[in-house]
Amino acid sequence: MWLLGAGTSAAAGIPTAWDMIWEFKQQLYVSQKRVSPKTVGDLSNPSIRMRLQSYIDESGKYAAADSPEEYADLFEAAYPSEADRRTYIDGKLSGAKPSYGHLALATLMKAQFTKVVWTTNFDALVADACAKVYDSTGNLTSVSLDATDLAQQVIGTERWPAEIKLHGDFRSRRLKNTSDELREQDARLRKAMIDLCSRSGLVVAGYSGRDDSIMKSLSDAVGVPDAFPNGLFWLHRGDSNPLPSVISLLKEAKEAKIDGGLVRIESFDETLRDVIRLIRNLDTGELDTFAEGRRIWTPAIVGTAQKGFPVIRLNGIRLAQIPTACRRVECAIGGSSDVSRAVAESGLDVIATRTQAGVLAFGSDSDVTGIFAPYGIKAFDLHSIETRRLRYDSGERGLLREALSRAIATRHDMLLLRKRGKDLLMPRDITSAQWAPLRKLVGQIAGTMSRHPGLKWWEGIAIRLDWASDHLWLLTEPRTVFEGVTDENRALSTDFARERTVRRYNRQLNDLVAFWTDLLFDGGNEVRALGIGNGIDAAFKLDKTNSFSRRVGGV
């Protein structure tokens, strides 16, 4: 048997509960504060997440961050109508197609290597995969929460394969707002799972173990005589440790002499691919079709300066080296706002953010533990920064952006302002020789508005991170940076910035991009965020070649 959680649906484009929680916080903030969504549009920005979490915390209306009730509580608050909640979920599921892992699992079901799939997910990816592999919709028996009698019939008569959805209808409401009947039906499904665990092994994939009811059921199953005759295997991504509830369950299984344990994997899809390769004489027709039908993207060749190579230079600089690990702290500090506040109040040189995995940080070990010790450190280890989580606006990508901005500011003696989805950098000492080429390009590079002495300006850049062509890129935008903008002088600053840039055509902008690229490349030297000798620092190297666009095939 398999037990699937939300992580197995991520490859199909369905957001996890963690992703949706931040969307709910964003929507509540925008609707209740009556501000533009653009003000909190970049959910990868730690400062924006801190602002959202602070608002949620200060309201006192909602469940605590990372609590089991947080998802449903915020969901009901953002979408009070159950019809609207179901529409929201349908929108998230719209267009999702089975990944390789789902098709591989369906292939195992057809070959009778897998008979039952339990799932906490509300999508139809397993059913859709089976429809493709079997070329029919009638082979799989799908059991939902309102058909517990059917589940007992399927198990009693061994009508395989079957997919059984655990408490799927709870996903759009708080447990306390769920009827006694639904809760009782869910309990009956979990009882059926416990009974079947005495006859089958179980592989758990994409499931964190945060649901107390399911973990209690698995723990009860371990105590059944001859439980999990073919083993209990828990697939876990990354180098971090699983939740204590998972560790406790696996410890109980080991003491009961049940085969299995924790299996560290790269992804659900890759693990299923490895399993498929181990089985001989398996019909993989649908999997082969899936692989052949995928579009393969390859990076463009690096251009030259030779005549006849039309190129449009872009403002992306490839990151040739990024940190591969940071510290992970598991403690009871709460949300992102609490983490930022603790770091700021400590006065220590630490860069940290809050993710589902725990508090992720760069800094000396003594400083990191000093900040979070008051919150009861349960685990202190390394966290692998996986490239898959840098492909979108994740907490890891936000952490790297803050670290890179700090590294650049320190290396080149620049001022740093953190604004929404971008970080702003400008010269600290405008008389420094390193800014002479910039003065030659744009003239004056800093000043104060005569009509508003409190309004200062600099020639600088806005930077952010993005993912393209299987690499992380630093995007730079030459711009005028202001300090001291108020409602009274905002129009003046806008007009001033427009006047400075209106005559910057292709050649002028190319020269500016070249200046900032050369400065940031810095001869290929490594730049560090903190410059510490112990603990975990964030080290980066930039490539000199900008991203570019060119004609292909004469088009």
Residue 424 has pLDDT above 80, yes or no: yes
Task: Identify whether 121 is part of a domain.
Answer: yes
Residue 168 clears pLDDT 90, i.e. is over it:
no
Quote the pLDDT of residue 420. Answer: 65
Residue 338 within any structural domain of the chain = yes
Query: Is residue 184's pLDDT more than 60?
Result: yes
Amino acid identity, position 532: I
pLDDT more than 90, % of the chain:
47
pLDDT of residue 311: 67
Please indicate, yes or no, whether residues 53 and 146 belong to a single structural domain of this protein: no
Q: Which domain holds residue 220?
A: 97-293
Residue 462: Cβ within 10 Å count:
17
Is the same domain home to 276 and 310? no
What's the pLDDT score for residue 176? Answer: 45
Assign 108 a pLDDT band (cuts: 50, 70, 90): very high
* pLDDT tier, 451 (very low <50, low <70, confident <90, very high otherwise): confident
Q: Is residue 5 part of a domain?
A: no
Predicted confidence band of residue 109 (pLDDT cuts 50, 70, 90): very high
Q: Nearest-CA neighbor of 25 among 70, 69, 85?
A: 70
Co-location of 443 and 491 in the same domain: yes
The lowest-confidence range among 136-145, 424-433, 474-483 is 136-145
- Residue 389, class by beta-carbon neighbours within 10 Å (0-12 exposed, 13-18 middle, 19+ buried)? middle
Residue in 191, 229, 232 with CA at minimum distance from that of residue 209: 232
Contact between residue 333 and residue 372 where contact means Cβ atoms under 8 Å apart: yes
In this prediction, residue 298 has a pLDDT band, given cuts at 50, 70 and 90, of: very low
Same domain, 101 and 88: no
In a domain, 2, yes or no: no
Q: What is the mean pLDDT of residues 135-148?
A: 81
Domain membership flag for residue 26: yes
Strands 2-4 and 116-119: parallel
pLDDT tens digits for range 308-361: 455 677 888 999 999 999 999 999 998 888 999 999 999 999 999 998 889 999
**Average pLDDT value for residue range 254-268:** 91
Say what the pLDDT of residue 180 is. Answer: 59
307 — pLDDT class (breaks 50, 70, 90)? very low
Last residue of a domain, one of 58, 93, 128: 93
**pLDDT score at 297:** 45
Q: Is residue 405 very low, low, confident or very high in pLDDT (cuts 50, 70, 90)? A: very high
Q: Are 256 and 309 members of one domain?
A: no
- Domain count of the fold of the chain: 4
444 and 551 assigned to the same domain? yes
Confidence of residue 552 (pLDDT cuts 50, 70, 90): low
6 lies in some domain: no
How many Å apart are CA 195 and CA 79, to the nearest integer? 37
Number of H helices, E strands in the chain: 18, 19
Same domain, 121 and 73: no
Q: Which residue has the tokens 């190297």?
A: 541
Supply the pLDDT for residue 177: 45
**Ramachandran angles phi, psi of 265, nearest 5°:** -130, 165
**One domain, residues 274 and 361:** no
Contact by Cβ (8 Å): 369, 358: no
Q: List the single range of 4-13, 25-34, 459-468, 469-478 with lowest mean pLDDT.
A: 4-13
- The verdict on residue 389 lying in a domain is no
At 53-90, the pLDDT tens digits run 999 999 999 988 877 678 778 888 998 887 888 888 88
**pLDDT interval class at 45 (50, 70, 90):** confident
The predicted model gives 129-154 an average pLDDT of: 84
Q: How far is 244 from 252, CA to CA, in rounded Å?
A: 12
106 shares a domain with 86: no
Whether residue 427 sits in one domain with residue 366: no
Please state the rounded mean pLDDT for residues 166-173: 56
Residue 298 lies in a domain: no
Arithmetic mean of pLDDT over the chain: 86
> Given a cut of 80, is residue 466 above it in pLDDT?
yes
214 and 143, same structural domain?
yes
Whether 453 and 514 share a structural domain: yes
User: Is the per-residue pLDDT at 51 higher than 70?
Assistant: yes
